[in-house]
Structure formats: structure tokens, C-alpha cells
Chains A and B, each alone.
Chain A
Amino acid sequence: MDFVKHAINVLAYPYWSFTLVLIVFALMLRSKGLWSKRGGLILLAAGILFFLVSLLDPNFWLIVAKPDNVPIVMMVFLVGFFVWFSMYKATQNDARVSRGEPLFEKTEVEDRIFTWPDLVFSEFICMVVLTVVMVVWSIALKAPLEEPANPALAPNPSKAPWYFLGLQEMLVYFDPWLAGVLLPGLIIIGLMAIPYIDTNPKGNGYFTFRERRVEIALFLFGWLVLWSQMIVIGTFLRGPNWNFFGPYEFWDQNKVEALVNVDLSEYFWIKLLHLGLPGNWFLRELPGILLIAAYFFVLPVLLRKTKWFRKYYEKMGPARYYVGVTLFLFMMLLPIKMYCRWLFNLKYFIHVQEYFFNI
């Protein structure tokens, strides 16, 4: 058992877990069996089993059973359910279409019911049941009050509200102006821009996966892998000093990890060219600047030429294409930076401390 726990602890470290999640994510999208009722039940059973067995571990219990974290546990299951549900519906519809039958939503639309009593009555029952659940919850779990807030003494770990923990996790890899301002702003702008970039009418008003594979995969990558996963990591696996802790690991205040991060400029000038760092910051950071410039300005053009992206370029036209690809590249900047950090201890691509400009 200890071995299993240890293995899970090790695998939970971001570099392993992130890679694993990527693989599982890819497999999930390709899987057929998973998006059936049976697959869903197995997934649910596995999730519950893992959770219950893990609760036997005191360290796991300590974190998961904190009254503040209970909603996040529920959120994990809810996210799972809704992803499964939409994919299940989509798979069903895809199967119907391939069999030449009408869409599920179509059959549903024709089957009308009255507002009263069917809808209102069932809503009313939901309301009562929810009230019961909320009351029980409020009696059983006391409000998790802590000591009086002290502006001079931040708690360790200092955590954002759970819905911002994804952002806080990004701060591990980027400066605040990027992780706290630019990237979140782009997320909102990007979400708002989707209807204008993606003008494909398929999938409007009905579930489908086959007709919109790439779009759904991209969205789910951002939503599940980059957002939800980071919230889970931030809630359950980030402990004192924002150190990483496996799910069965004790949150030791004094944990020390040997980490020395190195800038790209050092890699280039010192390790590669065996020269000292140039005194002029522009010259010093030139490799990084060139790299980032290439990433945002050359890569879209090059991608246009590939089989995959050419299709989109032709379908969407240059304006939509470039906006979409830039947003996509911004999204991909996060996993790229994460891997660079894990593999090469990379601190910054561009590190202009003279002007507090770091990427």
C-alpha cells in the first residue's frame, strides 16, 4: 500500500501528472466506450473508489476534509459528470446521424410539455431537495473560520479563492503581469471572440463531436487540462510555501526543494557560447526576444503552410486565422513554459530585470 501511495505521490508531481493527463486526454477523446452509460458508470465508480480508499490516508483526509475544500471535491465530480454527459449525448447523436436517424434534440423538441404542472412541479421538488441538502451541509460542517486576518502575516500557504487557483498556479511559471493580467484578459477576450472566429454553424443547438472534433478538443484542452486541473492542483497539491505535495504527503512547512532556475540568456551566452553575459540588456536578451518574436510572428506563417492549418486558413480567411492562431499560441505558451521549466529549469525566455519585463 505504501508503495502504491508513494508511486501516486511521485506521479502526482506536475511534470509526470501533466504528461499523463495529456496522454489520458488524447486517449479519452479517441475512446468510444468511455462515452457510454457503462463507461460513465465505470469512470464514476473508479473515481469514488479512489476517493474513498484515499480517505483512509490521514494526510489525504487532512486536506480533502477541510470544510473549505469540500465544494472542490464536489466540483471534480460535477466537471466529470458534465463532460461525460455532453460527450455521451454527442456520441449518441453522432451514432444516430451515421445510422441516418434524426438528432436526439430534434425528437426532444417535438415532445412538448406544459409549464404547469410538469416543469414547475419538478423544479419545486428540486428546490426542496436542494434546500434539504444545504441545511444538512450547514449543520454538519462548521464555517471554516481562522484567526483574525493579519496584513503583516500572510498565512502559509496563501491561497486565492478556489476559482482563481488556476491563475495562481500560472504564477509559478510567469510574472504577475503575464499570469495575472495578460493571460486572464486574453482568456476572456478569447472566449468572447470565439463566435467571431469560429463561424462554423455545425453543432448549433445539438450535441455532436464528430462534426467539431478539433474545436471541442481545443476547448476541452483549455478547460480541463489547463484550467480545471490547475484548480485541483492548486487546491489539493500545493502546500506551505507553494511547494508541491503528493496527495498522501504531509504538508511540511519546512520542505525544501533544490531548485535553481536559469534564464535562457545564460543558456545561450554562457553554457552554449562560453562567453560572459553581455552588459547591454538588449543584446543579452536578444536570443529570447528573437525566439518569442518568432513564436508569435513567424510561427503562424509557417503553420499556414502545414496540412492542418492550411485548411483553416483557407476556410477562415487571414484575419480570423491570425487572431485565432495568436490566441492559440498564447494558450500553448503555458504548457511550453511548464515543460521548459521542468526539463531545463528555465526561468525566463526574456529576463529584462532593468525594466521588470520578463517572459
Chain B
Amino acid sequence: MTPPRTPPEKRPDRHYDFGRMNMVFALSSLALLAVTLWMSFADYAQPWKRIQSEFRSLERQKLVKEAEAEKQKLNQNDLAQLKKDAAQAQKDLDQHHKDIDKLQAEVADWKAKVYSTDSNWKGAKATADASKFQYDNAVQSGDKGAIAQRRATREKTRQALADALRQRELAETGRDDALARLAAKEAALTEAEKKLKALESGVDGIETRIAGLNKGVDYFVLNAPLMDFVKPSLKVEQVILQGLYQNINFTNIDRVDRCMTCHVASNRPGFDDTSWKEPFRSHPRLDLFVGDSSPHPYTRFGCTICHGGLDRATDFSRAGHSLPLLASNDPQSKKQLEETRKEWERKWDWKPQQFLDYPILPGKLAESGCVNCHAGGVWTAKSDTQEVGRELISHMGCYGCHTINLPSYTGLRKAGPSLMRIAGKTNPGWAYKWIEAPRNFHPTTWMPHFFNQENTTTAENRKRQQVEIVALVSYLWAKSEKPVYDDAGVPAGDAARGKAMFETVGCGGCHLLDGKAKRDDYFPVINRLHGPNLVNTGSKVSRGWVYAWLKNPKQYYPDTNMPNLRLTDQEAADLTAYLTDTPNHNPQYENVPLPAVDRKLRDDLALSYLQNLYTTDRSRAKLAAMPEAERNVYLGEQTIAKYGCYGCHDIKGFENLKPIGTELTAEGSKPLHQLDFGHVHEVPHTRQDWVYNKLLRPRMWDEGKEPVKDYNELLRMPNFGMSQREAQAVLSDVMGFTKESAIATRKAGTDSRTAALAEGRKLITRFNCQGCHLIEGEGHAIKTLFEQVLKAQGQANPDVSGLLPPNLAAEGARVQSAWLFNYLHDPGQVRMRPWLTARMPTFGFTDERKNTVVSYFAAREAQRPFLSEPDAPDARSLAVGGAVFSMLQCARCHPAGGEAAAAVGGSKGDLAPSLLLAHERLRYDWVPSWIQNPQHWIPGTRMPNFFPETKPGEYMSPVPPMLANPAFAAQKQQILRYFSSEAEMNAYLSDVQNVTTALRDHIWAISGGGRRPAEPATEGAPAAATAGAAKAAGGR
């Protein structure tokens, strides 16, 4: 187009005023430029870039500080001296360097030769190969003249090839020789220079890293818009997690976690002191999570499989960060929520993500992720809250009303006691008051409050509840068997002795007797709340019943968890006295008559149930036909069905009913719209807040609905009186009940070993083994009772570790399966640790259960159940074992006979199991390894460590130096007979393996196991060893 000569606005053939048109065009073009720049900026200025850049600066500051500290560490004087030495050595160095230069020139020369001879050889080889082919060709054609000629050529080329090879080999040898001389020269740098280098390398390393974090020109160029596609230092960090999927309805896609784009330091140690704030902090417990060498490295597990949230998001809101939980009954938590909300809105422009199915779970709830993969093993012992949640659910019996189709909650007994024989145990008046408000009687009970909750407050509803409780009690007593327990048959007992029994024999592992205790005080070790709090037992049950129960719990309830402590009649009578005598009473619960009920309300309620089945007229007729007492029983039956009492208790007539609650198997994936928040608006509409508040205030979603709902439509979930900690623990388990989120191969243990562990763990929870024992690092709950008792006796800081029942950490590796099986069958037959006051009770396990326990311990240590009888040890080993046994004074703690304990002396805490049982109890191959390093098997054991670990996996034997001591001359002499020289003896004894094996052989011999050696029958080394041991034991 040619530019117009006259100004366009004056051209008559133009329709528009082009001066103005140009103006508009110019302005709109500028606007286009502006919005294009805006668009580029909006695309470029992602919040995560700001975060990464900020972290870069912060990390640099940190390193600068570290470098300074490192320099401080370098002793300045040393440094100066070393530098002087280095200067002195500089001359040598210069000479070295000259030599090195010369050698390097020589090497280069040789390399050139190698190259040229190699190419000659390659040429010769090609010619030789070709001549071979031509000779073959000539043979094929049969031309004799040609054959001869080709043959000659072939010979010539072959010779040339051999020459070329020789030349090349010579060159190579020369080169290698020169290289070796160069390496030797280079290695011979002066000591001073090396030292100097070593000292400075710490600082140098840090300074190199600092340089890498500088924000120089290159940094800005590489990260500039449009340039940043090449090699930006600010970039999205992502990890693709195969087999861990995001469920997007009917299909699963692998997760692609990008969390580390902002949480830059989460897999690096050193960013965990308080000066580091999110998103720059290290992940807690890098040894367990996220860390590269942990079992859950970031590259394989990412973040969202546990934490939830939108894996691919790189924006604070979109990633699904959720506010902290709100406890609607706690103003403090509301304040905290508001503060966090305001801060997030200010800092991150936070908005709730209503379309995100799985937002990030706040705080510890990430532990619900454990369930995703570990549900098959029942336990996740290393989680802080989720595992407590599982125990709480098991104790509270949530699974009684809510089906939870996970290994942890299937095949369990009902959580509460059987009510089949309730009439023999207590009286209706007590039962009425108990059901009305269980925690008023036993403040720590697991039994929840069904009545007088926040949605049943009107006068009429209160009366209806009274009617219901009376009906419940009437039904239970009408249907119960009526065994008679006579007080007269109970021998006279002494309450004081009973108290001592209670505190020492092991009752306290499962029971409290404390009217002021709160469940929350015992969080998270809830084992002592396993059985009922025995406060006010005298008002609940008769002496006759308690006595009979203590003597044999199974006569009242065959499937009870309560074991038999093998009490003598007197012991049982003493305990009965302690539990039922005057102080342990609450008069308000005695001789209570059942209240008179509002008959009209009772009949209306009964009628409403009848009307579910019959027409109104027939219902009325049926009701009219019922006698007064039967109406209560009828209503009681309906009420039990309504509240689902049979979910936790065995009740006659309710043997095969389905549980009444919502199934919780996929509660953690439940769509939000299926959760009814009612009229409550203060609670954030998230899955976790709904469940959390439901646990804290089970009836709260009925707020404002009591007047408009029918009585039987009101929410029924009972109130467990959970503290916030308890509710959060339960929540962190429940939120893990999700749909599949990992393929089978990415889940933890789906093998038979895990199944054996799972079954065992279920039994351990059910029978509360951890109330007394330490298993998988948890338990010893009874410790608090022992401490309490000793404190009451005036000890300020009692150490009760010697009184505690054994740590079963290595039980599977330690004991023989057959022995354990028999021991479980009747623990009373042998007292392994006679100094312990607590008794291992008889649980009366079936063979199946005993096998479950044995398999559990064996599976823990990957052991096989059966062992062959050990081979007969040689005499030398026995002699050495006997000598070392006495030298190390093993018998000081391990009494040779059970009753010899007292004679040994020393405090109770130093005693150890008698070795007389060793051969039938212990695993033959385990003993040496145990003697070598007891702490490896049972951390914290009092067994001393005789073999110091010099390097990981290497141990030192203390025996040879000990034998040099004249005090052990006798032992030395004993052993020496089996060796040709002292040197040989010392060499033998320096090997820890030999010493521990010998000790084991000796122990086997003294406990009567193993086969005696046929020879040498000289002086009977084992006998001597035993004598030595006895002497050692007796001599102290």
C-alpha cells in the first residue's frame, strides 16, 4: 500500500475520519500490548516461583552461617602452622610438579604412539581379512594359479598384522608404564598439603554450595520469561507415583505429586528448628517418611496418598489446604480457626475448594493415610494418633453398630459384656441408673450415654426416655438367666491384703479403681482402661458374685476377656473384701426402685412400634391385650432394637440381627453432600469436620430439629464423652476408611505373614497383653500403677523397671514355639521370674488362639515353628563355656535354681530368668546372638553387654585380656588343656562367635539339654563348669 499523499481525513472518498480512526487503532493496539504483557506476567508470576526464590535466599543465609561456624572451628593457630609447613614443602612440590609435567608430556607422547600403531593395526587387519576372503574365493573357483598367488598374499598380510599388533602392544605397555609413574608421582604430595586440603574442604564444600545458590546474572537469565524453557532453576518439582492412584470415578489415574514445588525442604534434614516456617520446613521423622532412605521415600510415595489434596496443583488454594478442625464445643478452637483463616486469606488468597473431593487433611489426620496401605496388618505402631484411634474404636465398640469391613474390625467379639445372665450379677435399680448415665458411676467407662442428650431436652422427651430405660431393664431381667451367687459361701477376707494384691498381682494392667480418673488422663496409653474401673463395685455386684467371678470368670460369661489369675480361696476372698467393702460403695446406687413411668407415653411408644407392622386398629387391640408388665417388656425389646444395644452386648432374642448404624467402610470417601449438617453453619462443611463434631457431639446435627422430628426420628448415636484428643485419634482412623487408592503391590504386606501378625495383634488388643508386657514398643501400662504405689510408700523417684513383666520384643526369636504354646496353656506350671509380683494369668485360650499367639510371635521375627535337637557340642566348647560363665559371673543374676533367687543377693531389679529352663524354652540358635548384643534384641534390657561393638557388626571379645589376670588363673588352666598353645587359645577366644557359642553350649548342658559328648571323659568339663558356676553364685 502506498502512503496517501493528502491527509486521510480530507480525502472525499473516505467514509470515516481517518485521523480519529488511527487514534482508535493506536489506542487499541497499545491496549493489546498491555494485556499481552499482563497475560505473560500472569502466566509467569506463579506463586510457587516466589516461594522457591525466597527459599533459595534463606538457604543461602543458612549456609553462610554454617560456613562461618565451620571456619570458627578451624583452629587458627593450627591453620597458620600448617600453612607454614605447606610453604616449606612448596619447593618439593614445585619439583614434583615439574616431574609431573615431564611425565605428562611422556604420557601424551605414548598416547600418540598408541593411536598411530592402533590405526596401523586396524589397516593391517582389514587387509588381512580381505586377503582371506579372496583366497577362499580362489579356492571356490578352483583356479590353481590364483590359489597359489592368493595364498602368498594371505601369508604376507597375516605377517603384517602380527607385526602391527606387536607394535601396538609395545606402545600400550609404554603408555601404561608412564601412567603408573605419573600416578605414583601425583600420589606423593606432601602430608602438609593434604592436611591443609582436608581442613579446608569442609568450608570449601559449603562455599561451593553457597556459590550455587547465588542469584547472579545467570539466575535471572535462566528464569526470565520466555527464556525459562531451557534450564530454569525455578521449576515445578513433580514425582509420578505409579500404582498410587487418584480415584476419579470408575477409573484410577496415577498420582503426580507436585507438593515439593513449594515444600522445598520437606525431604531434607536440617530445616526443622523453629526459625523455619512452612512451606520451608523438613518433614518430621525423615527416618520414617519422605526421606530418601526411609521406608516411604518421597520418590515412591509422594505426599497426597497420606495428606490428601489435589496432587497436581501448584497453588495454595487449589492444592486443597484445609483449615484446622473446629470443635463446636470449644471456643478456643473456633478462635484458632478464624485466625488461621484470616492469615491464609491474607497471605495466600485462600478460598475453600468446594469441588475438591479429597482436600488436604489438617494436622495429624494425615496419619489416616496409614490405613490406605497398612489396614491388612491391623497395627501401624509407628503412628501417633491413628493407632490410638484404632484401639479406641475397638474399645468403644463402634464396629458393633457400624460395619467396618477392614481386617482390624472384623471377627471381633462384641465390645461390651454379655447380658444373658445379668439378673445374677446386679439389680434393676442399679441398671436403671447406670443406663441413664454410665459415666456418673464409672467416670472412665467406654459405655456411652444414650439418654438425656442435647436433642432430647423437652419435658415430654425426658419422660419418654425414662419410659424407655425402664422398658429396657424390664426386658433384660425378663429374658435373663438367673444364677444365684450366695454371699454366705465367701470366706472372710482382709481388705488391706486385698488392696496389696490388687496393686501387685496385675489387676492394674486392665483395671483402675479411681472415682476421680478421667479417660483423657490416660491418653494415649489406654490399656489400663481396658476393663471396667472398679470404683464402687460394692454397690453394683454382690460379694458372692465377685468371689465367684475372681475364681473363675468363665463360669459367668464364657467368652469374657477377663483371665483367671489362679487365686487361692484366701486371695480371692481378700480381693473380694477389698472390692466390695464399705469404702468402695456409692449409696446413691443402692436400693434404687425403678421409677414410675408415664403410662400414656409408654403406651403411645409401644403403639407406634406396633403400627409399623399392623393397622392402627389392630395395633390398639394388640396393645390392649397386653398385660401391664408385658407392655414394658415389649417396649424394651423395641428399644433395644432402636438403640442397637445388641451391637455391643449379647442379649437374648437379638442373636442374629444386623447392626443399626451406617456402614463406615468407605466413610473417608463419602461424598460431602451425603453428610447432613442440619441447621449448623458454624462448622466448616468438610468431611473431617463433620465426623469430628459428630464424635464430640453426636446429636448436634439435630440442633433446632427436636420440635419438628418424631421422637423415633431423632438422631440416636450415643455420646462417648470423647475428649478432643480422643475424637481426633478416632477421626484419624476413620478418615482412612477410603476407597481403594493403591494397587495391591503398593500396599504393605498382603502375605500370610502379615495375616498372622494381624490375627495376633487383634488378640493382643482384645486381651490387653500390652497392659503388662511391652510388645512392638508399646505397652507396660501397669508401670504407672507400680510407680504410684511406690510413691505412696515414700519413694520419690521409683525405678520399677525390674518389676515389670517382660518385654516381648524378641519373643518370637527367643523362645521355642512349642514351649510358648504350652506356657500359654498353663502359665502357672512354671515361674520364670519368681521375683515378679505380677502373675501371668491363665486366659484359657483355645488351641486356635494359642496357635494365633505363637504364630504371631514367630511371624514377628520371621521364625519357623519347629527346631531340631542341637548337635552335641565338643568338650572344648563346653570347657570354655563353663570357664567364661564363671568369669562373667552369669549366675549372679541368673540363679541356677528358681528358689535360689533370694540367696543370690542384689536388688530384685537385677534378677534374670533361671537358666535351668533354657534348653526347653530358648531357641538354640538365638542364644549366642543374644549374648553377643542383647540391646539389639530387646532395647533397654538389663542384660549387660560384654562384647563391645567396635565397628557396626564387629564385636570385641573381652576374654583373652581377662585370662591374663591372675584372678582367673584357675579358669585359664582349665581351658588351656584343650589347646596346644596359649596363642592358639587366645586366638580362639578372640573370636566372639566361639565365646558366645561356648556359653550357649554350657547353658544347654547345665539345663540338662543337649547331648553329652562321648569323649574326652577326662574330668567332665561340664561338671567342672557347673561347679564353677555354683561357686561363683555361692561366693557372692
Contact = CB atoms under 8 A, between A and B. Distances in A.
Binding between chains A and B? yes
Interface of A: 111, 113-114, 116-118, 121-122, 124-125, 128-129, 131-132, 135-136, 138-139, 145-153, 156, 253
Contact of A147 (B8, B36, B357): B357
Given A122-B16, A125-B28, A156-B673, A151 B250 contact: yes
A132 B28 contact: yes
B355 A124 contact: no
Interface in B349-397: 355-357
A338 B516 CA distance: 70
A118 B14 contact: yes
Nearest to B24: A125
Contacts of B39: 135, 138-139
8 contacts: A128-B28, A132-B28, A132-B31, A146-B355, A147-B356, A148-B248, A148-B249, A151-B250
A221 B355 CA distance: 39
Interface in B39-71: 39, 42
A135 B36 contact: yes
5 closest A-B pairs by CB: A148-B248, A113-B15, A150-B249, A146-B355, A147-B355
A128 B25 CA distance: 8
Interface string B6-36: 0010000111101001001100110110011
Contacts of A111: 15
A205 to B, nearest CB: 21
A152 B674 CA distance: 14
Contacts of A156: 673
Contact of A121 (B25, B38, B250, B357): B25
B583 interface: no
B353 to A, nearest CB: 9
A151 B249 CA distance: 8
Interface string B282-325: 00000000000000000000000000000000000000000000
Given A117-B18, A122-B21, A148-B249, A139 B673 contact: no
A139 B38 contact: yes
Contacts of A124: 25
B248 A132 contact: no
Interface string B878-890: 0000000000000
A116 B1 CA distance: 10
Contacts of B38: 135-136, 139
B104 to A, nearest CB: 62
Interface residues of B, number: 27
B249 A152 contact: yes
Given A132-B35, A139-B35, A147-B357, 6 more contacts: A118-B14, A121-B25, A146-B355, A151-B249, A151-B250, A253-B673
A118 B16 contact: yes
A103 B38 CA distance: 48
Contacts of B16: 118, 121-122
Interface in B944-968: none
Nearest to B246: A148
B13 to A, nearest CB: 7
A128 B42 CA distance: 20
B587 interface: no
Contacts of B248: 148
A125 B16 CA distance: 13
**In this complex, which of A139, A149, A151 has the most chain B Cβ atoms within 10 angstroms of its Cβ?**
A139
Given A125-B21, A135-B39, A153-B671, A117 B31 contact: no
Contacts of A146: 355
Nearest to A114: B13
Given A118-B15, A125-B25, A129-B28, A145 B355 contact: yes
A121 B249 contact: no
Contacts of A122: 16, 21
Contacts of A139: 35, 38-39, 42
B359 to A, nearest CB: 11
Contacts of B25: 121, 124-125, 128
B21 A121 contact: yes
Interface centre among B13, B35, B42, B250 (most CB of A within 10 A): B35
Contacts of B24: 125
A66 to B, nearest CB: 12
Given A117-B18, A125-B21, A128-B25, A135 B35 contact: yes
Contacts of B15: 111, 113-114, 118
Contacts of B32: 128, 131-132, 135
Nearest to B29: A128
A151 B16 CA distance: 56
Contacts of A253: 673
A340 B214 CA distance: 78
A151 B35 CA distance: 39
Contacts of A147: 355-357
A346 to B, nearest CB: 32
Contacts of B671: 153
A2 B24 CA distance: 45
Nearest to B249: A150
Contacts of A153: 249, 671
A97 to B, nearest CB: 26
Contacts of B249: 148-153
Nearest to A140: B42
A22 to B, nearest CB: 38
Nearest to B31: A132
Nearest to B15: A113
B958 to A, nearest CB: 67
Nearest to B672: A147
A129 B25 CA distance: 9
Contacts of A152: 249-250
A37 B248 CA distance: 54
Nearest to B671: A153
B449 to A, nearest CB: 29
Given A135-B39, A147-B357, A150-B249, A117 B28 contact: no
A277 B18 CA distance: 79
Contact of B357 (A114, A131, A145, A148): A148
A172 to B, nearest CB: 23
Contacts of A121: 16, 18, 21, 25
A72 B35 CA distance: 24
Contacts of A118: 14-16
A134 B772 CA distance: 72
Contacts of A149: 249
Contacts of A132: 28, 31-32, 35
Contacts of B673: 156, 253
Nearest to B35: A135
A322 to B, nearest CB: 49
A119 to B, nearest CB: 9
A118 B15 CA distance: 6
A144 B18 CA distance: 42
A323 to B, nearest CB: 45
Tell me which of A129, A132, A149 has the highest count of chain B C-beta atoms within 10 A of its own C-beta. A132
A175 B8 CA distance: 63
A108 to B, nearest CB: 12
Contacts of B357: 147-148
Contact of B35 (A125, A136, A148, A150): A136
A117 B19 CA distance: 13
Contacts of B31: 128-129, 132
Contacts of A131: 32
B831 to A, nearest CB: 63
B292 to A, nearest CB: 32
A38 to B, nearest CB: 26
Contacts of A117: 8, 14, 18
Contacts of A148: 248-249, 357
A121 B21 CA distance: 8
A356 B69 CA distance: 87
Interface string B502-523: 0000000000000000000000
Interface string B422-460: 000000000000000000000000000000000000000
Contacts of A114: 13-15
